[in-house]
A and B are shown apart, each in its own frame.
Chain A
């Protein structure tokens, strides 16, 4: 079974600085998708960024980028120029391409932005 691990329960960063959230996963599949979701206090799940495992290039969405290391099964999220609105829980998630369509989530990292 696939598992996703986020080893940082909490992180904090100064506004305008850069922060990196860690995620590792375990799978025997060779092709899959990885995601970072943001959950603000409203509890709405918001997709931040997506990475296809068959793509070597790291995904980027504005101030958000990932460092995808397939051999190490590592998928970290970098947030540049942190803003107060980035404060939230961040969840790393895995999904197979074939077969089961469910998302497998990590435990989450609570990110605090200090003004």
Chain B
């Protein structure tokens, strides 16, 4: 069973370009989370999606950032008109379904290897 896949692993963009980051969850997982890690910091939650639905986008910047998880295909995190401050590692995690109380095995988030975005 393949783990969470992210591509590309490294992405270089110039200021003003668009960045598209892809995440394929583990087989059977229908929930995807995106996190951002700035240099020397911990991961910060950005958005939580189920198939065709955004459940929680409380961590997403108000402008230039969007995310989707279509019925078919990977989840996409899109950053328009990138700026140097967007340089970071972006991690995707997936889980099989909503966590249920006292059933810890069903709620664990499995992380992908991350995409390192560099904005020149």
- Interface range on chain B: under 10, 10 to 19, 20 to 34, or 35 or more? 20 to 34
For A46, the chain B residues whose CB sits under 8 A away are 111
For B55, the chain A residues whose CB sits under 8 A away are 101
**B104 pairs with A103, CB closer than 8 A:** no
**A102 pairs with B48, CB closer than 8 A:** yes
Name A18-68 residues within 8 Å CB distance of B.
31, 33, 42-47, 50, 52, 54
**B59 pairs with A102, CB closer than 8 A:** yes
**B113 pairs with A43, CB closer than 8 A:** yes
Judge whether A84 is part of the interface by a CB distance below 8 angstroms: no
CA distance A100 to B107 in the complex (A): 12
CA distance A59 to B25 in the complex (A): 28
**B99 pairs with A97, CB closer than 8 A:** yes
- Interface range on chain A: under 10, 10 to 19, 20 to 34, or 35 or more? 20 to 34
**A47 pairs with B104, CB closer than 8 A:** no
For A91, the chain B residues whose CB sits under 8 A away are 42-43
A100-115 vs B, CB cutoff 8 Å, 1 = contact: the mask equals 1111111110000000
Q: With contacts A45-B111, A101-B56, A101-B99 known, is A107 near B42, CB below 8 A?
A: yes
**A103 pairs with B109, CB closer than 8 A:** yes
Q: With contacts A43-B89, A45-B91 known, is A105 near B44, CB below 8 A?
A: yes
**Interface SS majority for chain A:** loop
Q: Which residue of A lies closest to B43 (CB)?
A: A105
Q: With contacts A54-B102, A101-B48, A105-B43 known, is A43 near B107, CB below 8 A?
A: no
A61-105 vs B, CB cutoff 8 Å, 1 = contact: the mask equals 000000000000000000000000000000100010110111111
CA distance A4 to B44 in the complex (A): 11
B42-64 vs A, CB cutoff 8 Å, 1 = contact: the mask equals 11110010000001101100000
What are 21 sample pairs from A and B whose C-beta atoms fall under 8 A apart? A33-B104, A33-B107, A42-B113, A43-B89, A45-B91, A45-B93, A47-B108, A52-B102, A95-B107, A97-B101, A100-B58, A101-B48, A101-B98, A101-B99, A102-B33, A102-B45, A102-B56, A103-B43, A103-B93, A107-B41, A108-B42
Interface residues of A (CB under 8 A from B): 4, 6, 31, 33, 42-47, 50, 52, 54, 91, 95, 97-98, 100-108
